[in-house]
Amino acid sequence: METSTYQLRCRECGKTWGNQPRSYCEDCFSPLEVTYDYDSLRSSVSHELFASRAPNIWRYRELLPLPAGYQPSLPVGYTPLVCAPRLGDQIGSRRLFVKNDAVCLPTLSFKDRVVTVALANARSFGFHTVACSSTGNLANAVAAQAAREGFKAWIFIPSDLEPAKILGTQVFGAELVRINGSYDHVNRLCSQIAEEREWGFVNVNLRPYYAEGSKTVGYEIAEQLGWKLPDNVVVPMAGGSLITKIKKAFDELILLGLVDPKPVKFFGAQATGCSPISTAIKQYCDEIEPQRPKTIARSLAIGNPADGHYALQAIGKSGGWAEDVSDHEVVESIQLLAENEGIFTETAGGVTVGTARKLIHQDRILPDETTVLCITGNGLKTTDVLADRYQVEAPISPKLAEFEAYLAAKAANLPAAFAAAADSSNAAVA
Ligand SMILES: *Cc1c(COP(=O)(O)O)cnc(C)c1O
Ligand SMILES: [Zn+2]
């Protein structure tokens, strides 16, 4: 791998570690990240090169840690960036965009981006089994992609995940281990297993490679805005990796001359029931106090975020901010996005929309600035949180008269069952 244009480097002491399945520096125990030879990249990438390729994350392949000769087998990413004028009207923004990873393929969350890059490296490191600790979406993405790529998969989750996320892991034939404990317990166990077994844990020993996949959200936002950066991005935070990697993507694009330099404010979103990062921001504190999660936003329920420290830095240095919203606001915000833009997001997306609304009310995000909301997962995976919001009315017969009665009852604000009864009494009279 000597010839590769990327390698691992310690984020604190700067020591380089080549390419290997390792996530922390042996010298100072700080996290490792992938670094590139940006001088040689400057002459080899361009807007035209990216645009000449298919619309998926592999169009940015030079900016990802991919082993020589790697042949991708899945068209992951390049999800829509849509303007959201109706939602904008509701929450007070005139230039609002939604980056819609609710429709990221193959498993309907942004985690497909990170897993596909991790598995490319798992293969080149010689792993036959891949694994992860997950709050749900990562489980789905690892299970599905392992099936397609011919890896055996071991998935470790907290026992209380949503049924759709559990089923959406099992269906791919993965081994699923439910743990009595929070995500933080699950993750600690996985670190121990990774020391014992020759398994590629996408978010443990392969974490630096995995994390690079998140940069593609940033590249796509810039390209979809016509190779311009937005004023603000609002990003949901669990471990805090995605927000730091969108920032890395924007910084790289500036460094490579692919966008004009511009300050972008980064805004982090959490659920109040698991808000270690937003709490630190709001208290102007540079240490993160771990929390015990208690929220319906299970995909974000990481009480001791691995990249929390770097998320604080990214937000703070950008002039951004972080906020958190209650479970009630999460559900309302899911409905607000669905009713105004036709996008059905999971609880994490409710967190993002609710937080954005709060930040606009606080005048931290201004109405005429270009603001991108990162919607990271699909609502069909967390339908349980909406169960008590909607009733299904009694069915009516396929008769026009019954429909007319139904409409009349509706106008009079009567339940549909009454309409059916009224109709049959009318029929009897006739
Ligand atoms: C994992 C996840 C996130 C946040 O990811 P981090 O990089 O750990 O902060 C956001 N949204 C959804 C839906 C996720 O599954
Ligand atoms: Zn170090």
Q: What is the pLDDT of residue 414?
A: 72
Please, which residues bridge with residue 18 across strands?
Answer: 8
DSSP string, 155-170: EEEETT--HHHHHHHH
Do residue 337 and residue 263 come from a single domain?
A: yes
Asked which of 195, 211, 227 is the last residue of a domain, the reply is 211
1 inside domain = no
Structure tokens at 338: 């669905």
Report how far residue 378's alpha carbon sits from residue 389's, in angstroms, rounded to the nearest whole number.
18
Contact 159, 183 (CB under 8 A): no
Start-to-end CA span in the chain (Å): 86
Is residue 270 domain-shared with residue 375, that is, in the same domain? yes
- pLDDT beneath 50: ranges in the chain: 1-3, 419, 422-423, 425-430
Token pair listed for 415 = 């339940």
> 29 CA distance to ligand 2 centroid (A)?
6
The model's pLDDT over 325-358, given as tens digits with 9 standing for 90+, comes to 999 999 999 999 999 999 999 999 999 999 999 9
Whether residues 201 and 220 share a domain: the answer is no
In this prediction, residue 427 carries a pLDDT of 44
Q: Distance, CA 17 to ligand 2 centroid (Å)?
A: 10
DSSP E strands in 90-248: the ranges are: 96-100, 129-133, 152-158, 175-179, 200-201, 232-236
Mutate to test the pocket of ligand 1, among 133, 242, 304 (most ligand atoms within 8 A of CB): 242
Instruction: Tell me which ligand sits closest to the C-alpha of residue 27.
Output: 2
For a ligand 1 pocket test, name from 111, 203, 345, 346 the mutation site with the most ligand atoms within 8 angstroms of its C-beta: 111
Q: Looking at residue 307, what is its pLDDT?
A: 97
**Amino acid at site 90:** Q
What pairing do the DSSP bridges indicate for beta strands 6-10 and 32-36? antiparallel
Q: Are residues 423 and 309 in the same domain?
A: no
Give the pLDDT confidence score for residue 413 in this predicted structure: 82
Residue 297 and residue 351 in one domain? yes
Residue 294 phi, psi (nearest 5): -150, 90
| Whether pTM exceeds 0.85 | yes
Do 115 and 203 have their domain in common? yes
- 235 backbone dihedrals φ, ψ, rounded to 5°: -130, 130
385 lines ligand 1 (CB under 6 A): no
State the maximum Cα–Cα separation within the chain, in Å, rounded to a whole number: 90
For the record, the structure tokens of 177 come out as: 């281990």
Write down the pLDDT at residue 1.
Answer: 34
Nearest CA to ligand 1 atom 14: 299
192, two tokens: 């121990």
Give the per-residue pLDDT at 419: 47
Q: Rounded to the nearest 5°, which phi and psi values hold at 266?
A: -100, 125
Statement to judge: residues 62 and 86 lie in one domain: no
232 in the same domain as 158? no
Structural domains of the chain, count:
3
Ligand 1 pocket residue status of 242, Cβ below 6 Å? yes
Two structure tokens written together for 430: 């006739």
To 5 degrees, how large is the angle CA 164–CA 170–CA 174?
Answer: 140
Distance 95 CA to ligand 2 centre (A): 42
Rounded (10°) angle between helices 163-170 and 137-149: 10
Q: What are phi and psi of 219, to 5 degrees?
A: -60, -45
Cα–Cα dist 321/284, whole Å? 10
Q: From the CA of 23, how far away is ligand 2's center (Å)?
A: 11
Residue 321 lies in a domain: yes
**Residue 51 falls inside a structural domain:** yes
Q: Could you tell me the distance, in angstroms and rounded to a whole number, from the CA of residue 193 to the centre of ligand 2? A: 23
Secondary structure of residue 74 in the 3-state scheme: coil
Q: Are residues 372 and 234 in the same domain?
A: yes
Residue 315 and residue 190 share a domain = no
How far is the C-alpha of 354 from the C-alpha of 347, rounded, in Å?
Answer: 10
> Atom of ligand 1 at shortest distance to CA of 138?
15
242 CA → ligand 1 middle, Å: 7
Nearest CA to ligand 1 atom 10: 236
